[in-house]
Amino acid sequence: MIPRGFRFGAVRAGIKGPGRLDMGLLWCETPASAAGVFTRNRVVAAPVVLCRERVVRGTTRAVLVNAGNANACTGEAGLADARRLTAAAARELGVAPEEVLMCSTGVIGARLPVDRMEKAIPALRASLAEDPDPFARSILTTDRFPKISARSFRVEGREVCLVGVAKGAGMIRPDMGTMLAFLATDAAVEPPLLRQVLVQAVDRTFNRITVDGDTSTNDTVLLLAGGAAGVAPADAPGGLDALAEAVEGVCRDLARMIVADGEGATKVVEVRVVGAADEASALRIARTVAESPLVKTAIHGEDPNWGRIAAALGRSGAYGGGPFHIAVGGVEIVRDGLGLGLEAEAEAHRAMTGREFEIRITLDEGAGEAAVTTCDLSAEYVRINADYRS
């Protein structure tokens, strides 16, 4: 289910080592409306600087992506490298350099192997095809699997397609995690409206996951709308809602895949808070619990140690101090701030042996509700990150 007018490419440029796809290209046959959401980290990589600069034009033709090197903390030389590579891609594609965006992911602090990458660009263009899988594989770092999601919907009787590709497994606490995501649709959407749809979707999905609480220097989500479907959702009854629902659905799929692929992760857990003073308070509590190393290690050990959850609730700064209830995997283990005993905890432990479950915290302070999706913290996470540059 590939949006009309888009193609994907991937090559081995020698960035990550012999035999591994490490440079990708997303190409639109006609000028596409473009919108982007980027990391809130104050230390930003050169490609983020370049993307922010160019996406404000509102249109683009291509996105060049590399893995294995973040091109972050490389100064003016790193920005010059990004400009040189996008100019080389633009020449090969027959477009202006300003029509090519760039994203990078990998080790921070090293210059890109520009000469090798530039030589690979003709082969990258030749690799363009309708299959997004090689592109999805070319942007991976510590990921265990590629992440692709697609949706289709109808507007005025015409099918509109949307596809999304992402990477991410560690340094994940998107505050838009290291994460990149690229979405493309063949709907016709004006850039300001496209950005509105994207920002809303990112806030409800990528901004509500965590693997390790770290926000990357390179986080980027791009949404391109090529218009080849010949229909503008904003001009049709219900069309804009259908587009927004599809974009949010694809983002949610990709976000959950990122958590499931968390470095060393064996569990996917939704921390849901209900009855908080407001949504912002609920989100703050959920995020504090979801990012607690003590909670995450208890999840890994399948231990319903609710004291760790209660402690995170108490230090969140968004809890009013009244009664609280905790359920794990649908099993209530705390009521009115008091544990319900070993039998309840044993039942909760059985629920925690599964791959996915929910931690629900119920308060009586208002109508606020929010959820953050997290994973467990294992010894494998430490091994991966201790050896990352070795």
User: Is residue 12 in a domain?
Assistant: yes
Are residues 238 and 120 part of one domain?
yes
Just list the catalytic residues: 178
40/172 Cα distance (integer angstroms): 13
CATH code of the domain covering residue 315: 3.10.20.340
Are residues 228 and 107 part of one domain?
yes
Are residues 247 and 275 part of one domain?
no
Are residues 216 and 142 part of one domain?
yes
Q: Which of 188, 191, 185 is nearest to 230 (CA)?
A: 188
CATH code of the domain covering residue 186: 3.60.70.12
pLDDT for res 177: 44
Distances (CA, A) of 319 to 72, 98, 293, 307, 315: 38, 48, 20, 15, 8
Give me the half-sphere count of Cα atoms (radius 13 Å) on the Cβ side of residue 266. Answer: 15
Q: Can you give the pTM of this predicted structure?
A: 0.88
Q: How many domains does the chain have?
A: 2
Residue where a domain stops, chosen among 242, 260, 278? 260
Per-residue pLDDT of the chain (390 residues), as tens digits, is 799 999 999 999 999 878 899 999 999 999 999 999 998 888 889 999 999 999 999 999 999 999 999 999 999 999 999 999 999 999 999 999 999 999 999 888 999 999 999 999 999 999 999 999 999 999 998 788 899 999 999 999 999 999 999 998 654 444 444 589 999 999 999 999 999 999 999 999 998 888 755 556 788 999 999 999 999 999 999 999 999 999 999 999 999 998 888 777 899 999 999 999 999 999 999 999 999 999 999 999 999 999 999 999 999 999 999 999 999 999 999 999 999 999 999 999 999 999 999 999 999 999 999 999 999 998 887 787 776 554
Residue where a domain stops, chosen among 260, 278, 298? 260
Are residues 357 and 242 part of one domain?
no
pLDDT for res 210: 82
Q: What is the DSSP letter of 233?
A: G
DSSP letters, 47-102, are HHHHHHHHHTTSEEEEEEEEEEE---S-HHHHHHHHHHHHHHHHHHHTS-GGGEEE
Are residues 246 and 97 part of one domain?
yes
**CA end-to-end span of the chain:** 39
Can you give the residue range of the structural domain that contains 131? 6-260
Are residues 372 and 250 part of one domain?
no
206/37 Cα distance (integer angstroms): 11
pLDDT for res 176: 40
